[in-house]
């Protein structure tokens, strides 16, 4: 597949993403293991701070990351698949294929601007308590990654008025569906 560089800037992202008034807007990244040989994709929903960890068992090439993200978003309700903001890493060369398959609008942060995806960067810091730097990330199973995400999602957060991401996600799921 031809690699695409037709990337949409974070400046083109809908204003509602910045306001955090609507669920379904995600920030994503890779955390990379020892020797750059293993990785896990991290997805964090901006409104609820709900975290999804996506296993990348073979490699973290653009094709593998694209396939894994398409699979992860396929498990979510359509109303939770609005936008995804990522850095400009090569692993997202297949962003147009991901958009077509998921319905997401994918936007890219400016180079060397991790604060533009601050929710994800903060979550990646929390994840390092479970997945230390310099380790082989391929040794964690899907079940173990789900357990780590569940523990993070059950943690109350000051920014969520001491509610947990799971509590907010359950509240959101009880609301009528709107796209």
pLDDT tens string 132-169: 999 999 999 999 999 999 999 999 999 999 999 999 99
Number of folded domains that form the chain: 1
Tell me which residue range forms the domain holding 68. Answer: 8-170
Average pLDDT over all residues of the chain: 92
Identify the CATH number of the domain in which residue 74 sits: 3.30.420.10
1 found inside a domain: no
Q: Answer whether 68's CB lies under 8 Å from 56's CB.
A: yes
Whether residue 3 is contained in a domain is answered as no
Q: How many residues does the chain have?
A: 179
Residue 59 lies in a domain: yes
> What pLDDT sits at residue 177?
57
Residues 6+ apart with CB under 8 A from 88: 7, 108, 109, 111
- Looking at residue 2, what is its pLDDT? 41
Answer whether 0.75 is exceeded by the pTM.
Answer: yes
CA distance 31 to 39: 6
Instruction: List the one residue out of 47, 88, 92, 55 whose CA is nearest residue 71.
Output: 55
Provide the pLDDT for residue 171: 86
């Amino acid at each position: 597949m031809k690699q695409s560089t037709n990337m949409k800037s974070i400046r083109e992202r809908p204003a509602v993403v910045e306001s955090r008034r609507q669920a379904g807007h995600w920030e994503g990244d890779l955390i990379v293991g020892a020797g750059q040989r293993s990785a896990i994709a991290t997805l964090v929903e901006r409104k609820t701070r709900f975290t999804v960890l996506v296993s990348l068992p073979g490699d973290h090439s653009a094709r593998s990351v694209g396939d894994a993200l398409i699979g992860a978003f396929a498990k979510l309700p359509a109303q939770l698949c609005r936008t995804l903001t990522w850095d400009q890493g090569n692993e997202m060369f297949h962003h147009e294929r991901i958009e077509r398959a998921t319905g997401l609008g994918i936007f890219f942060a400016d180079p060397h601007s991790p604060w533009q995806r601050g929710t994800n960067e903060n979550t990646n810091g929390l994840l390092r308590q479970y997945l230390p730097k310099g380790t082989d990330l391929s040794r964690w199973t899907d079940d173990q990654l789900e357990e780590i995400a569940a523990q993070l999602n059950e943690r109350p957060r000051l920014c969520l008025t001491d509610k947990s991401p799971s509590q907010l996600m359950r509240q959101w799921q009880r609301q009528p569906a709107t796209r």
